[in-house]
DNA sequence: AAAGATTGACCCCTCAATCTTA
DNA sequence: TAAGATTGAGGGGTCAATCTTT
């Protein structure tokens, strides 16, 4: 009783299935391992760390909320909740940006900069232990390239903002 | 005022950082895209789908809870909550397994088998659109291999169960 | 006592509705 | 009125405590 539509519902080959399942397992396991270290050593989760890191990279240590959401692959809502927590901790502050239509921006505070500096070493150690030191340089490069390829395809011609802090 | 310990807190090279950040973005983006399709088309999330799929692969369509937790990279608690939901939906049932010390197992029901068959095609289409069809066969193979390498290292000699349903 | 499994409280994210400003 | 941003309710996951079986 097989349904005939092969082109309508193309199955994965054995090799494709195996590689996909490995990726699924990775995507389930990695965030848990990253979150666990950050939570116990720094009192923040992986997403909050990511937000601080993207702000630290930004021109004035600041980015409009929507640009920060795009940079962290998050919904506006998820980011807003996360910035609530980071602001409560004193690591980030919101301010009204008078350029480009009076939008809201988030800026890394001095306390946030300090906290990030304290947090980076342990996080980097965990990233090395879990990923970087476990692969050959070629494997890591291939992993990065495949990731960028997938991300680029999913963005499908949607431009990344690239603005500065305000 | 830099802390001197270079070997204690080794930084990532520019290339390592770039590849790691690409992987982070992938790991943030992929689950959202997978969950979105499954949630709207099948009323389940990616993790619940994964549980059903692992049961469908098992010898008697059944696995002890701890083995299923290992197979899905989840904590016992997360799995227990998920099986609660799947049982409520009628797709899975729990039963006491009299072998190997009277443990609890989960089994795919007929309804669950049917639901999975209905759900696979749309899910596979999404997996192709997001990942498989976006990479060359070589890239996909490299991605799978790197994932397995990372997973194997994190399991660090801990053996995978491999038991049957009961 | 120890391993397998569950429970419930708390935290985070999603989703849809709302507020605000140009 | 449309885009940027926030809000709160509801659902899922984590963690620690508990229950159960050998």
Say if pTM beats, i.e. exceeds, 0.75.
Answer: yes
Residues 19-38 on A with a CB inside 8 Å of B are: 19-20, 22-33
Helix axes B110-130, B14-42, angle to 10 degrees: 140
**Cβ-based contacts of A22 with chain B (< 8 Å):** 144-145, 147-148, 151
Closest nucleotide to residue B48 (Cα to C1')?
A: D12
What per-residue confidence (pLDDT) applies to B98? 80
The pLDDT value given to residue A90: 98
Of B12, B25, B124, the CB nearest to A12: B124
Say which of A132, A134, A149 has its CB closest to residue B139. Answer: A149
Query: Distance from residue A74 (CA) to nucleotide D20 (C1'), in Å?
Result: 42
Distance in angstroms (rounded) separating the CA atoms of residues B144 and B124: 17
Residues of A in contact with B6 (CB under 8 A): none
pLDDT at residue number A98? 80
List all nucleotides in chain D with at least one atom under 7 A from a protein Cβ.
4-8, 12-17, 21-22
Backbone angles phi, psi at A82, to 5 degrees: -65, -40
Set of chain B residues whose Cβ sits within 8 Å of the Cβ of A128: 10, 12
Q: Answer yes or no: do B124 and A26 touch at CB < 8 A.
A: no
Q: Do A141 and B15 touch (CB under 8 A)?
A: yes
Predicted confidence at residue B166, as pLDDT, reads 79
Task: Report pLDDT for B52.
Answer: 98
Q: Find the closest chain B residue to A118 by CA distance.
A: B3
SS3 at position A96:
strand
Which residue of A lies nearest to B28 if distances are taken between CA atoms? A73
Tens digit of pLDDT at every position of chain B (166 positions) = 344 334 455 899 999 999 999 999 999 999 999 999 999 999 999 999 999 999 999 999 999 999 999 999 999 999 999 999 999 999 999 999 887 677 999 999 999 999 999 999 999 999 999 999 999 999 999 999 999 999 999 987 455 556 778 7
Q: Phi then psi for B137, rounded to 5 degrees?
A: -55, -40
Residues 6+ apart with CB under 8 A from A54: A63, A68, A71, A72
Closest nucleotide relative to residue A161's CA, C1' based: D4
Can you give the pLDDT of all 166 residues of chain A as single tens digits?
344 334 455 899 999 999 999 999 999 999 999 999 999 999 999 999 999 999 999 999 999 999 999 999 999 999 999 999 999 999 999 999 887 678 999 999 999 999 999 999 999 999 999 999 999 999 999 999 999 999 999 987 455 556 678 7
Radius of gyration of chain A (CA): 19
Helix, strand, coil shares of chain A, percent, nearest 5, are 65, 10, 30
**pLDDT for residue A162:** 60
> Within 7 Å: CB of B105 and strand C?
yes
**pLDDT for the residue numbered A89:** 98
Residue B100 vs residues A148, B42, B62, B103, B104: alpha-carbon distances, Å: 46, 35, 14, 7, 10
């Amino acid at each position: 009783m097989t349904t005939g539509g092969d082109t309508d519902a193309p199955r994965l080959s054995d090799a494709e299935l195996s590689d996909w399942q490995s990726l699924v397992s990775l995507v389930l396991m990695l965030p848990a391992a990253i979150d666990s270290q950050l939570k116990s050593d720094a009192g923040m989760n992986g997403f909050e760390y990511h937000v601080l890191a993207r702000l630290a990279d930004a021109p004035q240590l600041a980015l409009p909320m929507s640009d920060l959401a795009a940079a962290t692959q998050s919904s506006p809502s998820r980011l807003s909740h996360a910035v609530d927590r980071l602001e409560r901790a004193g690591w980030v502050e919101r301010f009204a940006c008078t350029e480009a239509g009076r939008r809201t921006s988030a800026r890394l505070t001095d306390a946030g900069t300090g906290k990030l500096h304290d947090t980076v070493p342990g996080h980097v150690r965990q990233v090395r232990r879990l990923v970087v030191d476990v692969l050959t340089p070629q494997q890591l490069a291939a992993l990065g390239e495949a990731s960028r390829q997938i991300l680029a395809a999913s963005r499908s011609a949607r431009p990344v903002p690239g603005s500065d802090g305000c």
